Amino acid sequence: MRLVLIGPPGAGKGTHCKKLVEKYGLKHLSSGDIFRAEIASGTELGNTAKEYIDAGELVPDHIVIDMMTAAVEKAGDYILDGFPRTVNQAQKLGEALEVKGCQIDAVIELMIDDAVAANRLTQRRVCLQCGGTYHLVNLKPKVDGICDVCGSKLIHRDDDTEEVILSRLETYHKQTEPIVEYYRKSGKKLLQVDAAGEAGKVLDMIIDKIENI
């Protein structure tokens, strides 16, 4: 199964992807995670990407497309998280998959109000080691600042500050949301889910829609 997960920052893409990966045995292909790993390793790609990420802007298409089509070409069943983020990226992904003789099976759109997303992000703390995600009020770690799963230190992402979040949400509406219409017009199965509720319930709704494909 090949899935694309779309949603604004703060919609819970990473959280739900982890569960879907476990349930369906998919590879989790997250463009944001790949960039953060490149930044942590101090690579040229990471240094270039960091400038855009810290400003709440999208990394230029040609960089992301090369990186993600290479990842997709190596994977069997997967869920794409954070890619594509522009219509151009979606088109180029479609072309790369056509060459490979396959296509995306379904596109999941997580829908959430900007205010709810912004609140989640300012209170979010993440583990860069295992990808665990916490919320200072709703999903506290057992020990302050430490990941329950792997014991690593939790961080507040540089791009989870109020100013950058506003810019990321604006970028989402302008550049990423049109992808939904693009996929709808191209006849892809579109699974739209209200992502504002409790994580377990949102996940159940996603699974229900996947099972009905």
Q: Which residues bind ligand AMP (CB under 6 A)?
A: 9, 31-32, 35, 52-53, 57-59, 64, 82-85, 89, 159, 168
- Spatial separation of the C-alpha atoms in residues 82 and 32, rounded to whole Å: 7
- Which amino acid, 209? K
Cβ of residue 122: shortest distance to ligand AMP, in angstroms? 14
Cβ of residue 65: shortest distance to ligand AMP, in angstroms? 8
CB of 143 or CB of 178, closer to ligand AMP: 178
Cβ of residue 130: shortest distance to ligand AMP, in angstroms? 15
Catalytic residues: 13, 85, 124, 157, 168
Q: Which residues contact 171 (CB under 8 A, 6 or more apart)?
A: 56, 57, 58
- Spatial separation of the C-alpha atoms in residues 118 and 201, rounded to whole Å: 20
CB atoms closer than 10 angstroms to residue 68 = 23
The residue whose Cβ lies closest to ligand AMP is: 32
Q: Which residues contact 14 (CB under 8 A, 6 or more apart)?
A: 30, 32, 33, 81, 131, 133
CB of 34 or CB of 142, closer to ligand AMP: 34
- Spatial separation of the C-alpha atoms in residues 129 and 174, rounded to whole Å: 32
CB of 117 or CB of 147, closer to ligand AMP: 117
Does an H or E element contain 136, and which? none
Cβ of residue 49: shortest distance to ligand AMP, in angstroms? 7
CB of 60 or CB of 143, closer to ligand AMP: 60
